[in-house]
Chains A and B, each alone.
Chain A
């Protein structure tokens, strides 16, 4: 066995421990640990890019192009989160170092999860991902909203794990194994000999979808999202909204496309309905929001609905489009959150109406925010359009026209609330004239997002090829 395959995960884990140690030993200037964490992420990225493909522990750990693709998403999100946290941690009264260590630990969990070939690995890495996030969500210990967010996230995370586990236990009971490959072969053999799969399997699907539903914030499992997003520190909200969702997507694809694709009639329709609900409910409630974090929370609920279009298509084009859109979503959503972070550092406000006159105060920041908003709507030639085009094409290829029509109508609705931010920035005026100043790390993060949004919109070939390779991992 070549443990080399585990090198990125092991390295990042050790780096997280290193950060905890430095944090313990050093007495001051702990927020500089951010740069240490960033360095660790960069090195891990190099390791991921140069790592080989293969599997370990009899298939429990799969290092393939799918895991490499999602690892890059997690690493980039982590990088952007940490880069945008520098100023946040400077303001913290204590515990500045742990913050970065916990983010890295959560990322280790995500990276294991993308490689999970076994339900046990999947479960353990999922918990490794979420437990640090509970802590991070309630990181501003003396702030009511933050602790409340932590508690709500904890409770709903616990429920979702329990549901997921119940589903896993049913699958295990039916097949006698937790290896995804063996689950698939056993089920196929069973199906071929008896002609049906029985209600227990469908029950297992439902429990697992409910479990993943909480992680992905699908309607009707989305109630926790707005509160947690609003209450948690904004960099963590950004991390939750992108990395945590990407984790859910990766896990869902691993399980359902690896093991259950044969039985897609039993769950695809359910996913289609959930997608439609997410797009409708998410977009409509987002219209009513006045707080930018809550607005982005509901928008992220709606965006998951669009991503599910590709899942529903249940084809290689579908998975490829999901993987591609996750990258698209990463850049635009992180960008929007980073702008919100920069803005609230200066003004202390998260209200959309306070963005009035931003195009005067900070033209570049306003222009970038406008780009992110338009990308989230899906206006060409930005990344959001490319992503939606790809998702829609996957859905139409499988004749889900009704779902695409819903997606279109809700996209038009979404235009209204995304442009509301643009409207405030460009059409309204404010008496405040002072520009929004940003640190170097924040600027870099913002610049990466803008470049990503433009590049993925105009010349996405590299990412598309990579996404296509990731999609080839599954058998359709």
Chain B
């Protein structure tokens, strides 16, 4: 493969960032245009990626490998497999959508905002494409910086507190990963940071080492996912972040954690994965049920959706902990589907908040009468989130349950309670906000605008598409996941 498609996908947003920073402070519309352009190009490239990806093998494709810092064994090594291609696509899509959405949302310090947003895209793309540990870690950490600024400058409420909390939590986690990386580097002979070689050498690692390393990486990824009890940064960051950033946070950043598990923890430390399967399963159950219960108690719409992420990521972890092909496929499906649905839900909450300046569920009522289009779209995504058959959420949850049941035959039935609770809080919310008597206070509420519809339409199409016809995605990830399961269980 001569065309460096992955490098381009990572660094085109970076180029955009530089160009935006070169603009003058007043050139706000130019900044918007550049941001849209430079997030659109990676989206186009990601379509090429999807089209050219050969799902029949588990091998790496689109590989790029160059020497970088030879004295420390660091290489510039990119590649994509069935795990990364969907995530790269999701990243490109949600970033583009976020940029478009931010046109109306962001009115202050526009230039800086889009520069940070594009830098964020660089980091996320890099995480999903990097196959050298050092490179992976760099991208992993780059994400934190723009996120900190985006929440802290353009957020609402206790934004500074949320921003620093997010940064501290994730840095804390990722530094443990750094120790893990270094320990791994010195344990394997010859010393290497190449993830693929490390995966091959995994059987040579001592059991005790595998367990310790698994824990170190677990902390890093668990903070990101987030798994109980590391989840407390999530509601703060999600609620206080500007809409587009919440979308990226929920849609992609959380997936960096689960991606890390599948890319690193499971293949590299199979002993750890097997040893800790039950604890992870139990924690996943806690995530599902606890998250759903907290959602029931929320009065703030955005907070409710934030906590629903905790619950939904629990399904992801449950499928993964089972280490079956169906379970892990369900996990990847859930990663994609949660990215689409929750991303869209945050967008829609933003739409409403911009008009009403409140997110209290009880403040609304009967919106269906006043803004039918908005209400319809919102309800569609809510149904997707609660797992209505025919939409992507159902497919992924179903796969998770089917895949996990043979392994965790107590946990899975308990986890189904989570589904019921999810249905309960979403239906309660729909009823309170869209049905019932119309609250005349919102007489002046305007309908969702064309640009805003434009941002959610692709997400809706994909959600329905995957729900009705999941096999293209299945075919894409199948070989890779079979390989992972094979590596773990032998």
Contact = CB atoms under 8 A, between A and B. Distances in A.
A392 B182 contact: yes
B168 A411 contact: no
Contacts of B168: 412, 415-416
A468 interface: yes
A380 B134 CA distance: 10
Contacts of B160: 423, 427
A460 B74 CA distance: 11
Count chain B CB atoms within 10 A of each CB in A381, A396, A411, A423 and give the residue with the most.
A396
A420 to B, nearest CB: 9
Tell me the dominant secondary structure on chain A's binding face: helix
Interface in A436-471: 459-461, 464-465, 468
Contact of A427 (B134, B153, B167): B153
B141 A380 contact: yes
Report the interface size class on chain A: 20 to 34
A380 B142 contact: yes
Given A408-B179, A464-B71, A423 B138 contact: no
Contact of B179 (A380, A404, A459, A465): A404
Contacts of B134: 389
A423 B164 contact: yes
A472 interface: no
B165 to A, nearest CB: 10
B176 interface: yes
Contact of A397 (B149, B167, B186): B186
A459 B137 CA distance: 16
Count chain B CB atoms within 10 A of each CB in A405, A427, A461 and give the residue with the most.
A427
A409 B72 CA distance: 24
B72 A392 contact: no
A49 B185 CA distance: 35
A405 B178 CA distance: 10
B186 A415 contact: no
A408 B168 CA distance: 12
Contact of B178 (A381, A408, A415, A461): A408
A359 B152 CA distance: 14
Interface in A344-397: 359, 374, 377, 379-381, 385, 389-390, 392-393, 396-397
Contact of B71 (A374, A385, A465): A465
A380 B183 contact: no
Count chain B CB atoms within 10 A of each CB in A416, A419, A465 and give the residue with the most.
A419
Interface of B: 69-72, 112, 134, 137-138, 141-142, 144-145, 148-149, 152-153, 159-160, 163-164, 167-168, 171-172, 175-176, 178-179, 182-183, 185-186
17 contacts: A359-B112, A379-B145, A380-B141, A380-B142, A393-B72, A393-B186, A396-B186, A401-B179, A409-B172, A412-B175, A416-B168, A419-B164, A419-B167, A426-B153, A464-B69, A464-B71, A468-B71
Given A390-B72, A412-B168, A427-B159, 16 more contacts: A377-B171, A379-B141, A379-B142, A385-B138, A389-B182, A397-B186, A401-B179, A404-B182, A408-B175, A408-B179, A419-B167, A427-B152, A460-B69, A461-B69, A464-B69, A464-B72
